[in-house]
C-alpha cells in the first residue's frame, strides 16, 4: 500500500503495510538511522520522533497513523543546521554512549516548542520515560535549560 506523509519537510510516498511500524520504515526503507531501536514496547524512548510536532515512540506508531501527517526525525530537526537543543547537548557534553540521545533530543525539543522556559520539575516530568542507561540526566537537564536560554535570546 502507498502511504503519503511529510518527512522532515518533504512530502514522500512509501510502500508499506498500514500496520508496519514507523521505526522500521524509517530505518530500513528510508535509511534514516538516527532514530534508534531500544525496547520495542515504547518504554525507553530511544525511538522518539515528532508526529505533527508531538513526541511519539516510533516503535509503536503504525504507518496508518502517519498517513497524511508530518514526521520529524533527528535528521530533520535542525533543518540543515544544528537545532539549539543539539548544540546544547554538545556544549554540555551530554552523551556518553550516545544511544538514547536522539530520543532525548527529540523529546526535549518538543518540550521547548511548547514551553519556552520550563521549570526543573517540568523538564523532569516531560523527559520521564526517555531512559539513559549511562545516567546523564543531570547533564540532560542542564542542556535543556541552556537550549531554552539560547532559544529565548
Residues with Cβ within 8 Å of 24's Cβ and at least 6 positions away in sequence, in order, are none
Q: What is the pTM of this model?
A: 0.95
Res 112: pLDDT: 98
Confidence of residue 18 (pLDDT cuts 50, 70, 90): very high
Q: Report in angstroms the alpha-carbon separations of 84 from 19, 79, 142, 146.
A: 34, 11, 13, 9
DSSP string, 92-103: TT--SS-TTHHH
Instruction: Give tens-digit pLDDT for 22-45.
Output: 999 999 999 999 999 999 999 999
User: Residue 27's beta-bridge partner residues?
Assistant: none
Instruction: Give tens-digit pLDDT for 47-101.
Output: 999 999 999 999 999 999 999 999 999 999 998 899 999 999 999 999 888 889 9
Res 152: pLDDT: 85
Amino acid at each position: 500500500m502507498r502511504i503519503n506523509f511529510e518527512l522532515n519537510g518533504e512530502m514522500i510516498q512509501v510502500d508499506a503495510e498500514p500496520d508496519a511500524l514507523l521505526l522500521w520504515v524509517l530505518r530500513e526503507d528510508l535509511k534514516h538511522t538516527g532514530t534508534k531501536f531500544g525496547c520495542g514496547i515504547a518504554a525507553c524512548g530511544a525511538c522518539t520522533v515528532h508526529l505533527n510536532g508531538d513526541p511519539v515512540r516510533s516503535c509503536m506508531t503504525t504507518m496508518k497513523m502517519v498517513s497524511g501527517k508530518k514526521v520529524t526525525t533527528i535528521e530533520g530537526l535542525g533543518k540543515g543546521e544544528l537545532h539549539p537543543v543539539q548544540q546544547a547537548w554538545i556544549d554540555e557534553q551530554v552523551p556518553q554512549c550516545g544511544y538514547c540521545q536522539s530520543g532525548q533530543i527529540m523529546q526535549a525539543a518538543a518540550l521547548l516548542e511548547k514551553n519556552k522556559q520550563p521549570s526543573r520539575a517540568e523538564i523532569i516530568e516531560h523527559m520521564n520515560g526517555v531512559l539513559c542507561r549511562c545516567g546523564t540526566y543531570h547533564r540532560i537537564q542542564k542542556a535543556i535549560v541552556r537550549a531554552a536560554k539560547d532559544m529565548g535570546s
